[in-house]
Structure 1
Amino acid sequence: MTSPLRIYSDIVKPEWIDYNGHMTEAYYVLTFGFATEEFQSHVGGGEAYRLRTGSSIYTVEAHINYLQEVKEGTPLNFSTQLLNFDEKRMHLFHEMLVGDDDILVATTEVVALHVNDQPKVTSMPSDILEQLSAIYHLHKDIPTPRNAGRSVGL
């Protein structure tokens, strides 16, 4: 069975630590954002694409689950699964993992839109759609992550 992509990693920096002694929530958002940007670059929609075309891919929705604390100096690895896509949108699921055993410490689910330089939502070019299609073909049979599709509530 195919696995989610492993294309981004980081390490918890001292300035990411809050007064509780662990990584503050803002840096979960930041590192998941970096993982999303790395995926976008991987399919041809990153910074070079923006500079060349004026178009970009914007995150329009995200939901984070904080599962375990992460301390300063901890190496972070991220897995990315393409849950779905169409000509204008992509639906991603990232897992933040630590240690040799890939302990799951956080997840995020992201919906992103392709926009032109106006910025108006437009279809992605065929080369990006082809990359997404190839990845989706590999990821479609991976089980949907347990935390995907959750809503916020009491």
Structure 2
Amino acid sequence: MNIYATQVAAEWVDYNGHMNDAAYARVFSLACEALINHIGLDEAGREHFGYTLYTLETHLCYRREAHQGQSLSVDLTLLDSDAKRLHVFFAMRDAEGNLLATSEQMLMGMQPTTGRPSPLPSPVAHRVATLPQADKDAWPELAGRTIGIRR
């Protein structure tokens, strides 16, 4: 499911002539906001439910360079979820469909007034259930990776 689209802004390009690593993180953050809005936790939803999502962990993988003005689209796959958490996978692609980067994220539902984890409100949980889900035995290739030096 395409969750977000944008273009590489001039201020995102670094001294190497391509999109800076922090800009990739920014695009994925904006895609996460689009997801949050999609499941009913936009500003009105957050106020109505007294509920929000926090990002607990993010893993970014850079695959190809992106350049100024280049179109970007971000696809979303739900890897897993429970009453309080969403494990999501974002894939950033260019206009030709080339994979530029991925972001795997763990999101936690929170009550901002208490700062404590809390189950998803029922209408939000129902929207989460409609997200495209990865088959438990066929996650995206770059999901579930760990970082380390191979020996």
Same fold by TM-score, threshold 0.5 exceeded?
yes
* 1:116 equivalent in structure 2: 111
CA contact (8 A) 2:88 2:105 kept: yes
* 1:145 equivalent in structure 2: 140
CA distance 1:59–1:51, change in 2 (3 Å): same
Alignment of 1:67-146 (within 5 A): 67-99=63-95, 101-117=96-112, 118-135=114-131, 138-141=132-135, 143-146=138-141
Give the superposition deviation at 1:119.
1.3
Give the superposition deviation at 1:140.
4.0
Alpha-carbon RMSD across the aligned residues, in angstroms, is: 1.4
Q: Work out the number of aligned pairs and report it.
A: 147
Deviations 1:5-42 (A, max 9, x none): 11210100000011111110111111001111111111
CA distance in 1 between counterparts of 2:52 and 2:143 reads 25
CA distance in 1 between counterparts of 2:89 and 2:70 reads 21
Q: 2:45 aligns with which of 49, 55, 74?
A: 49
4+ residue runs over 6 A deviation: none
Q: 2:6 aligns with which of 5, 10, 24?
A: 10
Give the superposition deviation at 1:67.
0.5
* 2:28 equivalent in structure 1: 32
Give the structure-2-normalised TM-score: 0.92
Give the superposition deviation at 1:128.
0.8
Gaps of 5+ in 1: none
What is the DSSP-based 3-state SS (H/G/I as helix, E as strand, rest coil) of the residue aligned with 1:27?
helix
Higher helix proportion: 1
What is the DSSP-based 3-state SS (H/G/I as helix, E as strand, rest coil) of the residue aligned with 2:76?
strand
Gaps of 5+ in 2: none
